[in-house]
Amino acid sequence: MTPPVTIPLRPGATPSGTGRDGRDVRWEAHRTKRRRQLVESALKAIRKHGAGVGMDEIAASAGTSKTVLYRHLGDRAGLYRAVVTAVDERILEEFTAAEAVVGERDTVERIAAMVRAYLSMVEKDPEIYRFVMTRPLETTQGEDHDPVHQITDRIAGRLTQALREHLVATGREDAAVLAPVWGTGIVGLVQSAAEHWLSSRRTEDSPLTPDAVTDAVVSLIRPALTEGRR
């Protein structure tokens, strides 16, 4: 019986089903790096030109063409999603750093630290915030998940965890079921406060600071968390 013909692999290649060759891995790493660079250029363009920045301005900031932008990020909705993901990662990093400073000794202060970190980022990058909150229509229709929910859901999750741990630790296990409600409600409160704050900063001579807004938000939360503490 004639033995089957074996086709030799090219140098550096791997058999089918055993993994990708080195060139595929390097090319994917290159695409990931290039995509990250383009997102950073988009953030710079948004800061310079505002939330209504166009693809031409973003391409100019990146020193490339719109064709390259479309190749790596897709259309404007794709660019928007990439920017939201970058902002999401930054927010969570800031939250982690803020919580690390406060520690777990006081849940109210943990929440205050997260609120303050969020508002400080809004103050530092107001146009980035406006860009994220002014999402393209095509990202909110059909089966597409609203990209902003990537941020709000994860923030609500962090708050919910902190609230649940606090309620259990203070002997209020029966109220722990309210943690998701409170966590989501705090996110909505802070988001609305941030939008009002940004608008008022344009018209008021002495706008509130992030600390002042944080104190106002926390003053509403503190009674619910300290009431009935054991």
Ranges of each domain in the chain: 26-74, 84-226
Residues 5-28, mean pLDDT to the nearest whole number: 55
Per-chain mean pLDDT for the chain: 80
> In this structure, are residues 61 and 44 in contact, taking their beta carbons and an 8 Å threshold?
yes
Q: What percent of the chain has pLDDT over 90?
A: 17
Q: What is the pLDDT of residue 60?
A: 93
Q: Distance between CA 14 and CA 4 in Å, rounded?
A: 19
CATH code for the domain defined by 84-226 = 1.10.357.10
Residues 163-184, mean pLDDT to the nearest whole number: 86
- In angstroms, the Cα distances linking 81 to 1, 26, 77, 152, 157 are 58, 24, 6, 14, 20
Q: What is the pLDDT of residue 137?
A: 57
26 or 121: which leads in pLDDT: 121
CB neighbourhood size of 72 (10 A)? 20
pLDDT tens profile 79-101:
888 898 899 888 888 888 887 88
CB neighbourhood size of 83 (10 A)? 21
Q: What is the pLDDT of residue 42?
A: 92
Q: Distance between CA 130 and CA 126 in Å, rounded?
A: 6
Architecture of domain 26-74 in this structure: Orthogonal Bundle (1.10)
Residues 68-76, mean pLDDT to the nearest whole number: 85
Q: Around 148, how many Cα atoms within 13 Å sit in the side-chain half-sphere? A: 15
Q: What is the pLDDT of residue 108?
A: 86
Q: What is the pLDDT of residue 143?
A: 46
Which of 66-80, 120-134, 202-216 has the least mean pLDDT?
202-216
Q: What is the pLDDT of residue 145?
A: 67
Q: What is the pLDDT of residue 73?
A: 85
Q: Distance between CA 29 and CA 37 in Å, rounded?
A: 12
Q: Is the pLDDT of residue 196 over 60?
A: yes
Only one residue has tokens 């009935």, namely 228
Q: Is the pLDDT of residue 206 over 70?
A: no
Q: What is the pLDDT of residue 127?
A: 92
- Alpha-carbon dihedral of residues 18, 24, 26, 29, nearest 10 degrees? -100
- In angstroms, the Cα distances linking 199 to 46, 130, 186, 192, 210 are 18, 11, 20, 11, 14
Which of 22-31, 40-49, 79-88, 154-163 has the least mean pLDDT?
22-31
Q: What is the pLDDT of residue 139?
A: 55
Residue 52: both structure tokens together: 């209504």
Which of 154, 108, 124, 131 is CA-nearest to residue 54? 131
pTM comes to: 0.74
Q: What are phi and psi of 83, to 5 degrees?
A: -65, -40
Q: Distance between CA 66 and CA 38 in Å, rounded?
A: 11
Q: Distance between CA 44 and CA 50 in Å, rounded?
A: 10
Q: Is the pLDDT of residue 12 over 70?
A: no
